Structure 1
Amino acid sequence: MSGDRGIRVGVVGASGLAGGELMRLIGQHPNLELTFLGGSQHAGRRPSELHPGLRQDLGLVVEPVTDDVADRVDVLLLSTPAPVSADLAARFADRVESVVDLSGAFRIRSDELHHKWYPKVPRADGLADRFVYGVPELVGEEMVGAPLISLAGCYATAITLGLAPLVFELGMNLDHVLVDGKSGSSGGGVHLRTSDLHPFRAGAIAPYSPTGHRHAAEVSDFLGRSKPGTVGTLSMSAYGVSNVRGLLASCYVLTRDDVDERTLSRAYLRFYRKHPFVRVRRNNETLIPVPDPQATLGSNYCDVTVMHDPDGGRIVVLSALDNLVKGAAGQAVQAINKRYGLPEETGLTMQPVMPA
């Protein structure tokens, strides 16, 4: 970015759900200018044709991604499947100021673990080590000036924000973490699958990943490098529910460390007091129990509640967010703000829409 010119942003994967959210958020950001929309299947189509909610004429149509894109953008946002992101990141890593990837291509640092969960996503040698990975609240200072940023997945965002105060603030040793995740249909994107057809999805609680999830591996890889606390095992079961947007990650933590509810509550409030997008809440503070994904929809908030279950010998952490905003597009804009030294809330002050 030079002089008073806005930050020029290109979105690849413009036809997807997260791509639509990126256009919506960039359009209301005072410092960002959308200058390129990339895609392969919908070349020549206007944003309003792909996303009915976007009626504003942006003067852009979807185009194939060619090498001259590097001359048209400062930031290239990759809202694309992991194999496509891996290819485009290698292609543009040293040609634009910053590449921000929303896929899973570079989230897992370990090559061995990456190959286990993303066997069809080859990466250029050494490229993963150049990416700053994570949630802005936890690695934001590393994002300042970063040329390559890999954002956490939607579930991984909820889980790491839920567990971070235990690991970073209290330095606890989490022997076992069991995660129960429930997410709406938008988490699966716009690909046509039988399981996502309305007759099967409506009213469903579908155990689509009951014995493992790549976002759990992502969290384990990240927290495994963290201090002062430790994480032993972290496993996850994921369920699809009939909501369109939003997810809830319920984390059940087993630890031998002594803890009480007051200590937990104070640690969470202390840890997040300077992070406006994480709202630490009491479970019974509103007319409906929270965290509830419905209370975050359309916003960049993650609502977190921590409780102690002395009878069960566990800590219960609940994290809720909008998977398309804080879990994807909003987090991308937040990362751009951090990268360019803008106030973190810039362009992201919208409140949740409820009921939705």
Structure 2
Amino acid sequence: MIRAGVVGASGLAGGELIRLIVQHPELELTFLGGSSNIGRRPAELHPGLRRDLGLTVQPVTAEVAEQVDVLFLATPAPVSAELAELMADRVPAVIDLSGAFRIRTPDLHARWYPKVRRRTELADRFVYGVPELVADQLADAALISLPGCYATSMTLALAPLTMGLGLDLKTVVVDGKSGSSGGGLSLRTTDLHPLRNGAIAPYSPTGHRHAGEVRDFFERSKPGAVGSLSMSAYGVSHVRGLMTSSYVFTDEKTSQRDLHRAYVRFYRGKHFVRVRRHDETLIPVPDPQAVLGSNYCDVTVLYDEENSRIVVLAALDNLIKGAAGQAVQAANLRFSLPEETGLTMQPVMPA
């Protein structure tokens, strides 16, 4: 068995990690870490977890390295930066769910994460962990930085155009909508039910840090290029699930048929990306409610011939494919397991 530890066990992503690990046939949960809930059991923190795991939340020290083979950091970015420094070269694999190491370029990192201090040489060692795109790099990675939930959706939406077809995308404009769980458990006035329920809240209308990491990733990925990439993000009233709509402008000629075929070809054999036709089901897809509770990302590509515009829609569960599920998927690849191990659950609908 592969011994797994979760730091940030009291958060939403931490709770999902616990749930996925305890039902995983090859992972054994051996450590729970945190700072504000020392001594508490998982069932106290997450009402859905009633199984007695024989573990309580403990402080994180260097000795934790002796208890785990893989350590998941479901912690805020400043905390992850400190813990990665402590655990690097002590634990065989550290998988960070925060934004501490997502952006490789120092100036861009400083712009979007000004309070996160890290060593450049440590950041350079992290693999940006989109499993469908960098599986070969995950096979022996000691340090893995998972993309953000929006960034996962955007990257999977755009990769067939850049990394597959090698297109130069002159301008990309992204509209993102996410449920309240994307903000975690921090108490903010804007997240109170009387204000959040029924709302479409433009909380990042002129830019989002997840767009920064996507741009940073594609600048290091060939062929193809992304010129301008901008994003507006909105909070909507459901709890979990998100969708990105990427509007792509390019001077290169294409067609609806060629685009759909390119996406199917690019993701052939990729278990967790489902390329879908917009009108193939009773409701138009992608739709976040069609992936909730699963590790799937549904992607649809459309061509607006009149305006020479490519539209790519992508939907996922932000707590699973956008966080805990993708973390387990990366761990599977790191330890040479089939990537779908422990992640075969189907979506729950309606949810």
1:98 matched to 2:114? The reply is no
Question: Which residue matches 2:216?
Answer: 221
Q: 1:313 aligns with which of 302, 308, 311?
A: 308
Question: Which residue matches 1:166?
Answer: 161
Cα deviation for residue 145 of structure 1 reads 1.6
Question: Which residue matches 1:147?
Answer: 142
Question: Which residue matches 1:211?
Answer: 206
Q: Deviations over 1:139-190 (max 9, x none)?
A: 1110002110000100000000000000011111100000000000000000
Letter paired with 1:158: S
Question: Which residue matches 1:81?
Answer: 76
Alignment of 1:282-297 (within 5 A): 282-297=277-292
1:201 matched to 2:169? The reply is no
Q: 2:336 aligns with which of 341, 345, 348?
A: 341
Q: Distance in 1 between matches of 2:330 and 2:164?
A: 23
Q: 2:347 aligns with which of 340, 348, 352?
A: 352
Q: 1:52 aligns with which of 25, 39, 47?
A: 47
Question: Which residue matches 1:10?
Answer: 5
Q: 2:248 aligns with which of 241, 250, 253?
A: 253
Give 3-state SS (helix, strand or coil) of 1:62's partner.
Answer: coil
Q: Distance in 2 between matches of 1:85 and 1:67?
A: 14
Q: Distance in 2 between matches of 1:212 and 1:92?
A: 33
Question: 2:8 touches 2:33 (CA, 8 Å); kept in 1?
Answer: yes
Contiguous gaps of at least 5 residues in structure 2: none
Letter paired with 2:325: G
Question: Which residue matches 1:274?
Answer: 269
Cα deviation for residue 225 of structure 1 reads 1.3
**TM-score normalized by structure 2?**
0.99
**TM-score normalized by structure 1?**
0.98
Give 3-state SS (helix, strand or coil) of 1:146's partner.
Answer: coil
Q: What RMSD over aligned residues (CA atoms) do the two structures have, in Å?
A: 0.5
Return structure 1 stretches of 4+ with deviation > 2 angstroms: none
Alignment of 1:116-135 (within 5 A): 116-135=111-130
Cα deviation for residue 134 of structure 1 reads 2.9
Contiguous gaps of at least 5 residues in structure 1: 1-5
Q: Distance in 2 between matches of 1:327 and 1:272?
A: 18
1:25 matched to 2:11? The reply is no
Question: Which residue matches 1:38?
Answer: 33
Question: Which residue matches 1:137?
Answer: 132
Q: Distance in 2 between matches of 1:247 and 1:51?
A: 22
Q: Distance in 2 between matches of 1:66 and 1:8?
A: 17
Q: 1:178 aligns with which of 162, 173, 177?
A: 173
Letter paired with 1:97: P
Question: 2:106 touches 2:120 (CA, 8 Å); kept in 1?
Answer: no
1:303 matched to 2:289? The reply is no
Cα deviation for residue 125 of structure 1 reads 3.7
Q: Deviations over 1:50-71 (max 9, x none)?
A: 0000001100000111121011
Cα deviation for residue 207 of structure 1 reads 0.1
Give 3-state SS (helix, strand or coil) of 2:233's partner.
Answer: strand
Question: 2:129 touches 2:330 (CA, 8 Å); kept in 1?
Answer: no
Q: Distance in 2 between matches of 1:140 and 1:183?
A: 27
Q: Deviations over 1:281-322 (max 9, x none)?
A: 001000000000000000000000000001122000000000
Q: Deviations over 1:45-101 (max 9, x none)?
A: 100000000001100000111121011011110000000000000000011101000
Question: 2:18 touches 2:29 (CA, 8 Å); kept in 1?
Answer: yes
Cα deviation for residue 335 of structure 1 reads 0.3
Q: Deviations over 1:301-350 (max 9, x none)?
A: 00000000011220000000000000000000000000011001100000
Q: Distance in 2 between matches of 1:224 and 1:144?
A: 23
Q: Distance in 2 between matches of 1:237 and 1:300?
A: 24
Q: Distance in 1 between matches of 2:33 and 2:306?
A: 54
Q: Deviations over 1:266-287 (max 9, x none)?
A: 0000000110100000010000
Question: Which residue matches 1:3?
Answer: none
Number of paired residues? 351
Question: Which residue matches 1:322?
Answer: 317
Letter paired with 1:156: A
